[in-house]
């Protein structure tokens, strides 16, 4: 076999003609997978140390490889690394450069592994790092929400069903509802991280290797919990990428729901909250406009991540074991999903602590739409009236309020008593919005005391991570 060290390809021995230049560009992935260079080098260092421990590499060869890979990493960090599309991908670019730097020792690095298990390892390492970064931003956003909840535990606002005023809640309670969504998102990310944290190195192309490798050593070196158990599955599995993208789609779905509310709340028709100018933009033609661009853009990017999930599911649905070139198409949607989720979380984590609720506007809105009607029904039930009868009584009172354009709390006692003799002067204690929220004083309720406890518990949960 001829020496391939000067050839652009590291696999050219089998071929009698050069690859077509268009096919080179079409099949190359280095333009996007070079972002995994750090992980590729980490994996190669671990693999080399394992080969040395197995007496496949000498101590001098190991040192030469480690020093050479450190030089490669420095070149990449300083943007002087000579990336080449002819080398196809990040793995072959790094190996070729290493061989150019240190000679034959660089050619020995690939002993006992394939690009198939190499890329499977790199993606897991890269995604593990990405999940850690995303989890940190998720936590930072939750901290902002919990602080808002604590500061506004008693700030009354309308609660909605069907986007119609339903019952009063507190702004703090609403922020903690958002936090619950994100808490589930964090849990899903950690589950995904745990399941993917197994090391494929040693699976080689698909069947393992004839060399006496120590997969446990490599897994431990790279901080995986264990090696993967089946070589065929190791190189062809992309469940972890799909699972991460599914978790990301839910994160963006939750941010989109929050965005929708912020867009509504900042509108002139609601005026519930103010956003700082630095998170908004204006109009080129309408000088009065202050547009909530950050929430709107996050809402829009949700469809992008949903699309990546469908793309990955479709990519994998028809693949036989083991590795197929199709799998090269996993990286661009996965990388864009990571970037999009991380950017959206950073934007929200920066913005949310500075959301300012307009207390008086919120309180007036909470009073609209007979929001304490259920409280009046509960009052009558406590007086001994069956709930269905109480429901009918209050319905008639509301109908009268609609006719007179009066809220229940603004009606006279005599008017209220005309609907039920059980109503007494103490009824007005339950008809105020403050009384309504205070009465829901149980676990998960909107009473200010409960919101403060819930916010404190949520903060402790973050500290325990």
The pair of three-digit structure tokens given for residue 77, joined into one six-digit string: 């960090």
DSSP secondary structure string, 295-338?
Answer: HHHHHHHHHHHHHHHHHHHHHHTTPPSS--GGGGGGHHHHHHHH
- Give the angle subtended at the CA of 30 by the CAs of 26 and 33, to the nearest 5°: 120
Phi-psi region of 278 (alpha: psi -120 to 50; beta: other; left: phi over 0): alpha
Active site residue 64: no
Which of 2, 162, 412, 414 is catalytic? The answer is: 162
- What's the rounded Cα separation, in Å, for the pair 116 and 240? 16
- What's the rounded Cα separation, in Å, for the pair 74 and 461? 40
- What's the rounded Cα separation, in Å, for the pair 226 and 147? 39
Q: What are phi and psi of 357, to 5 degrees?
A: -75, 140
CA distances (Å), origin 399, targets 104, 378, 392? 90, 18, 11
Q: What are phi and psi of 158, to 5 degrees?
A: -75, 140
Active site residue 162: yes
Cα torsion 81, 85, 86, 90: sign: positive
* 322 preceded by a cis bond (ω within 30 of 0): yes
- What's the rounded Cα separation, in Å, for the pair 172 and 154? 7
Which of 187, 267, 283, 354 is catalytic? The answer is: 283
Question: How large is the greatest C-alpha to C-alpha distance in the chain, in angstroms?
Answer: 104
Q: Count of CB atoms within 10 A of residue 443's CB?
A: 7
Instruction: Identify which of 109, 89, 17 has the alpha carbon closest to the alpha carbon of residue 325.
Output: 89
DSSP letter at 281 equals B
- What's the rounded Cα separation, in Å, for the pair 464 and 168? 32
DSSP letter at 291 equals B
Length of the chain: 465
Q: Are 435 and 429 in contact (CB under 8 A)?
A: yes
Which residues carry out catalysis? Answer: 162, 283
């Amino acid at each position: 076999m001829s020496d391939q060290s000067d050839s652009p390809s590291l696999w050219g021995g089998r071929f009698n003609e050069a690859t077509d230049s268009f096919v080179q560009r079409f099949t190359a992935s280095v333009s996007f997978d070079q972002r995994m260079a750090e992980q590729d080098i980490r994996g190669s260092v671990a693999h080399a140390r394992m080969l040395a421990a197995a007496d496949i590499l000498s101590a001098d060869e190991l040192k030469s490889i480690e020093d050479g890979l450190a030089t490669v990493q420095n070149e990449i960090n300083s943007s002087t690394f000579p990336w080449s599309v002819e080398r196809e991908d990040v793995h072959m670019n790094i190996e070729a450069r290493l061989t150019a730097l240190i000679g034959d020792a660089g050619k020995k690095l690939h002993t006992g592994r394939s690009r198939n298990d190499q890329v499977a390892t790199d993606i897991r390492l890269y995604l593990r790092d990405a999940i850690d970064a995303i989890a940190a931003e998720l936590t930072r956003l939750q901290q902002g929400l919990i602080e808002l909840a604590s500061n506004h535990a008693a700030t009354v606002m309308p609660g909605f069903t069907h986007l119609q005023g339903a019952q009063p809640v507190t702004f703090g309670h609403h922020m903690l509802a958002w936090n619950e969504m994100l808490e589930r998102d964090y849990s899903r990310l950690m589950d995904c991280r745990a399941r993917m944290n197994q090391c494929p190195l040693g699976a080689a192309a698909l069947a393992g290797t004839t060399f006496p490798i120590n997969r446990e050593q490599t897994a431990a070196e790279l901080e995986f919990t264990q090696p993967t158990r089946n070589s065929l599955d190791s190189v062809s599995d992309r469940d972890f990428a799909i699972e991460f993208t599914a978790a990301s789609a839910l994160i963006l779905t939750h941010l989109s729901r929050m965005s929708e509310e912020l867009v509504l709340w900042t509108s002139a028709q609601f005026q519930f909250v103010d956003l700082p100018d630095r998170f908004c933009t204006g109009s080129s033609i309408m000088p009065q406009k202050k547009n909530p661009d950050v929430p709107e853009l996050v809402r829009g990017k949700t469809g992008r991540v949903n699309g990546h999930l469908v793309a990955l599911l479709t990519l994998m649905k028809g693949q036989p074991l083991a590795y197929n070139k199709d799998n090269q198409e996993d990286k661009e949607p996965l990388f864009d999903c990571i970037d999009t989720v991380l950017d959206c979380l950073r934007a929200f984590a920066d913005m949310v602590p500075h959301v300012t609720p307009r207390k008086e506007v919120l309180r007036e809105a909470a009073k609209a739409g007979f929001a304490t009607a259920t409280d009046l029904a509960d009052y009558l039930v406590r007086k001994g009236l069956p709930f269905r009868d109480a429901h009918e009584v209050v319905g008639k009172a509301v109908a009268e309020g609609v006719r007179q354009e009066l809220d229940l709390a603004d009606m006279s006692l005599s008017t209220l008593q005309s609907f039920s003799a059980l109503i007494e002067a103490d009824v007005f204690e339950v008809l105020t919005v403050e009384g309504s929220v205070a009465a829901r004083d149980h676990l998960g309720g909107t009473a200010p005391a409960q919101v403060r406890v819930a916010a404190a518990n949520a903060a402790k949960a973050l500290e325990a991570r």
